[in-house]
Amino acid sequence: MHDKSVVSSLESMGCEASANTWLMGKGFTSLLGLDRAEITALVHEAGEPGYRAKQIMDAVYRQRVETLAEISTLPQEFRERLAQSGVTVGAARIENTFVSVDGTVRYLIAFADGQTVETVWMPEGDGGEAGDGSEAGEEAENSSPGISGAEAHSETSEPIAGLKRYATQKPSRSTICISSQVGCAVDCQFCLTALLGVKRNLTAGEIVAQVCAVLKDQKVSPPEDRINLVFMGMGEPFLNYENFIKAARLLVEGVGIAERRMTVSTAGIVPRIRDFGEEKIRPKLAISLNAPNHALRTRLMPLNKKWNLEMLIGAARDFPLRTREWITFEYVLLGGVNDEPNHAKEVAELLRGLRCKVNLIALNPGPGIDFTTPSPERVVAFQKVLRDAGIPAFVRRPRGRDIYAACGQLKRTVEVATSPDAHLPGISPAPEA
């Protein structure tokens, strides 16, 4: 059932009006978030020559300026007129940073209205792209054989070596995890972000601004530097669909990150999965599965009541995959809940015949989450059942677990010293920068 009315009601649920709007000639405030056509219209409205549009695009998206004054290619008089009209670049502000023992950085990023989201920089990725058929996936497999091998890795296995490696060489396949909403409306029972509820949608400009802020802070610049991007931070991207899609286009056309290096994760908004398959520019698709049957998935992900497994798998089977593209199914393993060998057999049967692979994620714990992390042995056993059934299965490394930066941990946490891993051997509380 292609129920767009339901999607629209969910998209507006608990969300305030967007911070930025586009009204021709008046009312818009941010250059970040405008595409080439909109900036061209702005330039035309101001009576400036057309080449000013390229100058603005380059300054905002490639040079990542933060103020109008920094756009030195524009005449001062034009910059002053823009400022007098209330126009700003719309750059995000890094309010705080937390650095993990493995080099992962969790950014608390603030916007003009005071709302904040979290964005995560992973200098060596987390193996999430492995096996998805893309260039980024091949890099993940070749650089981290343990991700696809028979051993489930612990974040604490090589913390000091990881930091030394990060300090002495420039990462070749870093990943940025970005947010699409302030909070989240999808009440997954094992996710810290769900405890926030949802405050509002992010605009396309605010989504892109996160990436620009992190790239500038890390002193990297695509496409020269290979950057992978995952829409897996706070929020459900498909409940902010139009802004997410526009942001993806801007990240490709403006910032220079190839769509084959982007992945979007959805909890299963079935109508939007079908819409997404029709987009000309689109990231790779990942679907949060987390349970092999209707009853268990409904318990863990109440959204399953609206779009159940049958509908979800049906949309996945209909999804128009490109050459060498695979769908990724994400499966968070909860100790004693969904991690039994029989659960793995059910997953294998559910996905049989799909061009897909499974990313296994051992639960990243946090306060208020009533589940436990399974042992590495149980993770390996689950992976083996899937692989023996012919389903490619990979174990995602937890990155930044000690600073609440790992999958499912984003909750704008400031007191990182209370992290469940803070007192494990080799782990010390992460400093605030």
| Residue 27 structure tokens | 């009312």
State the residue for tokens 């080449």: 51
**Sign of the C-alpha dihedral computed for residues 374, 376, 377 and 383 taken in this order:** positive
Task: Compute φ and ψ for 126, nearest 5 degrees.
Answer: -130, 10
Contacts (Cβ under 8 Å, ≥6 apart) of 322: none
Strand partners, 231: 264
Contacts (Cβ under 8 Å, ≥6 apart) of 169: none
Strand partners, 98: 106, 432
Given the residues 118, 129, 139, 236, the one annotated as active site: 118
Select from 179, 175, 178, 177 the least CA-distant residue to 125: 175
> Rounded to an integer, what distance in angstroms lies between the CA atom of residue 45 and that of residue 28?
13
> Rounded to an integer, what distance in angstroms lies between the CA atom of residue 287 and that of residue 303?
13
177 annotated active-site: no
Q: Helix axis angle, 376-388 relative to 341-351, nearest 10°?
A: 40
Per DSSP, which regions of 55-180 are E strands?
A: 93-99, 105-110, 116-122, 174-177
| Residue 39 structure tokens | 């900036």
SS3 235: coil
Q: What is the DSSP letter of 254?
A: I
Given the residues 177, 184, 356, 407, the one annotated as active site: 407
User: How buried is residue 151: exposed, middle or buried, by Cβ count under 10 Å (0-12/13-18/19+)?
Assistant: middle
Q: What is the DSSP letter of 59?
A: I
| Residue 195 structure tokens | 């405890």
What CA–CA distances, in Å, run from 152 to 130, 397, 422?
Answer: 14, 8, 20
407 annotated active-site: yes
- Name the residues annotated as catalytic: 118, 407
